[in-house]
Amino acid sequence: AAPAAAFIPQDNFLIDCGATTAITSPDGRLFKTEPQAAQFIQAADDFKISVPAADVPSPIYLTARIFIQEASYSFHLTQPGWHWVRIHLFPMNNTIFDLQKATFTVTTDKYVLLHSFNVNNTNQAFVKEYLVNATDPRFTIKFSPQKNSAAFVNAIEVVSAPDDIINDVASNLLPVGNYPGLSNFAFQPVYRLNVGGPLITSSNDTLGRTWAKDDVYLKSPNLAKNVVVSASIVKYPQGGALTPLIAPQMVYASAVEMADAGVNNPKFNVTWNFNVDGAFTYLLRLHFCDIVSKALNNLYFNVYINGQIAISDLDLSHTLGALAVPYFKDIVVNSSFVSNGLLTVQIGPSNLGSGDLNAILNGLEVMKMSNTVESLDGEFGVDGRQETSGSRRGTVAAVGFAMMFGAFVGLGAMVIKWHKRPQDWQKRNSFSSWLLPVHAGDTSFMSSKNSARGLHYLHTGTAQGIIHRDVKTTNILLDDNFTAKVADFGLSKDVALGQGHVSTAVKGSFGYLDPEYFRRQQLTDKSDVYSFGVVLLEALCARPAINPQLPREQVNLADWAMQWKRKGLLDKIIDPLLVGAINPESMKKFAEAAEKCLAEHGVDRPTMGDVLWNLEYALQLQEAFSQGKANENEQGGGESTPATDNRPVSLPEESNKSPAEVQATIDEHSGTAMFAQFANLNGR
């Protein structure tokens, strides 16, 4: 069958931001100039910049718009449905703002495309590409700079995609079965490879896609052999859904096969490795076309994804009835199968013992799928944004964060007191009825820090210490003055000086339990340190330690947050109310303290004194930051952008529980009342 005619999109919005003259891209597409695009943009203030010449792949990167405040582009769609959204970015030098330091968020009405994004000192032009199922006639892209930062964009594309570009049902890797409802997701193509062949530019793809070479992703290139044939021999199936709109002929005219194809006993697979964000689920589209066989039913092979068999004994000629006929397979890989941010695809011969001992792959697409809150970057969605005074919300967030700092600095000092001043407990009749007040601040941060320092300064000299064994947020009470009180000492144990640990049955609360204590039943003061680390993460992320309503990989806060921390992306899962209100260095120190508390082995965890020192230092950084903000506001009186409301995860639709029952389930594991006080600060 001859290739289908070029696809003509119903919607074709191409905007060269900041340009005053018409620009034609290298693939022959005409971009609108700034005056022609004026009807699409809404911005309180913006700046247009340009450079005379630069080493860029397209002239669309020679101009840009910079936004100091929130701005948006709105388009009226002729035909709602699947659309390509491409955001072109190049941090060019200019006198307005250092774009290397620009941090901003990009959203649509429904999806988060980029969250707290910056170019990370990249001085190259690049494009962020998305595939979005736009169901409303009006489609908006919003740019929201972080406080005291800026957003920028060089060019924008909103272009119709074919209706059948994404099938609604794919195969699921594990458990084996179908994965329906793909039309309800947005996608970000992370990798798109022409396996075994050359680079395919957008000029040679009717949908404007670029297909990169695969060689840099091969684990052992010596085990792979490239095969390239004339594109004319590739025959698309008659009347089928597979057309050049799925992938151009050039993709199917090249392949990688096993380097030692046909040998008697090839004991290897060809492997590709990809770095991905392990917090997201991915749609893999594998492209096949048997251009290596000389006869039908002579090639049987397996495909593996992260060590799991994804396709078994694939015989393309039997499936399609001919050779050199394109075929593709969609497979969904849940984030729980992505280990250490690595996605692996392998091909190898079948074990059937017939045909050639060979395997092939022609093309591969790896697409990130939007998560439960409709985000493709980070863990917070766009829903819940309130049209209120941004400056007030920012101030509330800063005050709340500093008060949390004070409360937990005080808690750190108090836990040290447990370990160092056990004689105080002897004056009480019951641990469970004893409440120890620790002043976390009499409306000032300094008093909280000083009281914490005073408690930390107390020395021991007694023969025993106390381990609380149940440090968690529901045992930390805050009154209206944010005075922290720790309750419920019914599980506490005393430890003789020099003893090191107490052998005892495991007791405590899930989500806070020291894993070493859980395994060995040996309780130490470092068990409290571990629990305290979880409390710090709860304060930072505004979610409970255990939330059984979330996907499996997100249920345990300590494990989930540390995955993001190790990737350097913890800022994407913190409470949105804190975004822009926290000094990045202060948050970094705070997060490091939590990470050290959560070390796998107690010997690797700090003492509470060390934790307290780190929190005091983080608090000092935050105080200096907040004071600087206050001075700026007094001098400039500028407005701030509204902060996002904290609604990190929506409840699964299939749940039969009422909202009250769901909340009770969550509260059973970890309290949320503590955070409700901070959420309602602007009502006090």
Measured between alpha carbons, how far is 505 from 242 in angstroms, rounded to an integer? 61
Strands of 370-521 (E only): list them: 436-438, 464-467, 476-478, 484-486, 493-496, 502-503
| Residue 408 pLDDT | 57
| Residue 680 pLDDT | 42
Measured between alpha carbons, how far is 316 from 252 in angstroms, rounded to an integer? 13
% of the chain exceeding 70 in pLDDT: 73
| Residue 405 pLDDT | 55
The token duo for 580 is: 């822009």
The token duo for 489 is: 């000492």
Place of tokens 């429904």: 110
Flag the least confident range among 263-272, 430-439, 582-591: 430-439
Phi, psi of 592 (to 5 degrees): -65, -40
Flag the least confident range among 284-293, 340-349, 648-657: 648-657
Measured between alpha carbons, how far is 543 from 675 in angstroms, rounded to an integer? 8
Closest CA to 120 of 569, 579, 540: 569
Q: What is the dihedral of CA 541, 544, 546, 552, to 10 degrees?
A: -50
The token duo for 372 is: 């439960």
Instruction: Give yes or no for residue 322 having a pLDDT over 70.
Output: yes
Task: Give me the amino acid identity at 454.
Answer: G
The token duo for 601 is: 């082995």
* 588-607 tens-digit pLDDT: 888 998 999 999 888 899 88
| Residue 493 pLDDT | 67
Exposure string for 307-320, b = 16+ CB within 10 A, e = fewer? eeebbeebbbbeeb
Flag the least confident range among 135-139, 217-221, 506-510, 649-653: 649-653
DSSP secondary structure of 104-146: EEEEESS-EEEEEE--TT--S-EEEEEEEEE-SSEEEEEEEEP
Instruction: Give yes or no for residue 378 having a pLDDT over 70.
Output: yes
Radius of gyration from C-alpha coordinates of the chain = 29
* 105-114 tens-digit pLDDT: 999 999 999 9
Per-range mean pLDDT, top range of 303-312, 420-429, 568-577, 626-635? 303-312
At residue 30, the 3 state secondary structure works out as strand
Exposure string for 562-589, b = 16+ CB within 10 A, e = fewer? bbbbeeebbbbbbbbbbbbbbbeebbbb
Flag the least confident range among 18-27, 267-276, 384-393, 467-476: 384-393
Going by pLDDT thresholds of 50, 70 and 90, the confidence category of residue 501 is low
At residue 94, the 3 state secondary structure works out as coil
DSSP secondary structure of 336-381: GG-BTTEEEEEEEE-SS--SBS--EE-EEEEEEEP-TTSBSSSS--
Instruction: Give yes or no for residue 525 having a pLDDT over 80.
Output: yes
Angle at CA of residue 13, ends 8 and 18, nearest 5°: 145
Instruction: Give yes or no for residue 359 having a pLDDT over 70.
Output: yes
Strands of 468-516 (E only): list them: 476-478, 484-486, 493-496, 502-503
The token duo for 434 is: 């004893």
What residues pair up with 143 in beta bridges, in sequence order? 71, 106
| Residue 635 pLDDT | 63
CATH number of 170-369: 2.60.120.430
**CB 172 within 8 Å of CB 191:** no
392-679 CATH, one of 3.20.20.150, 3.40.50.450, 1.10.510.10, 1.10.3720.10: 1.10.510.10
Q: Where are the domains of the chain?
A: 12-160, 170-369, 392-679
The distance of Cα 170 from the centroid of its chain, to the nearest Å, equals: 23
For the chain, give the mean pLDDT.
Answer: 79
Higher pLDDT, 458 or 365: 365
**CB 193 within 8 Å of CB 217:** yes
The secondary structure of residue 203, as a DSSP letter, is: G
Q: Do domains 170-369 and 392-679 have the same CATH topology?
A: no
The token duo for 659 is: 């909202």
* 210-258 tens-digit pLDDT: 999 999 999 999 999 999 999 999 999 987 778 999 999 999 999 999 9
| Residue 313 pLDDT | 93
At residue 633, the 3 state secondary structure works out as helix
What residues pair up with 273 in beta bridges, in sequence order? 344
Going by pLDDT thresholds of 50, 70 and 90, the confidence category of residue 516 is confident
Exposure string for 83-116, b = 16+ CB within 10 A, e = fewer? bbbbbbbbbbebeebebeebbbbbbbbbbbbbbb
| Residue 43 pLDDT | 92
Going by pLDDT thresholds of 50, 70 and 90, the confidence category of residue 388 is very low
Instruction: Give yes or no for residue 458 having a pLDDT over 50.
Output: no
Active site residues: 470
The distance of Cα 542 from the centroid of its chain, to the nearest Å, equals: 17
β-strand 71-76 against 41-43: which pairing, if any? antiparallel
| Residue 496 pLDDT | 58
What residues pair up with 281 in beta bridges, in sequence order? none
CATH number of 12-160: 2.60.120.260
Cα separations (Å) of 653 from 282, 321, 332, 667?
Answer: 21, 42, 20, 20
The pTM for the full model equals 0.64
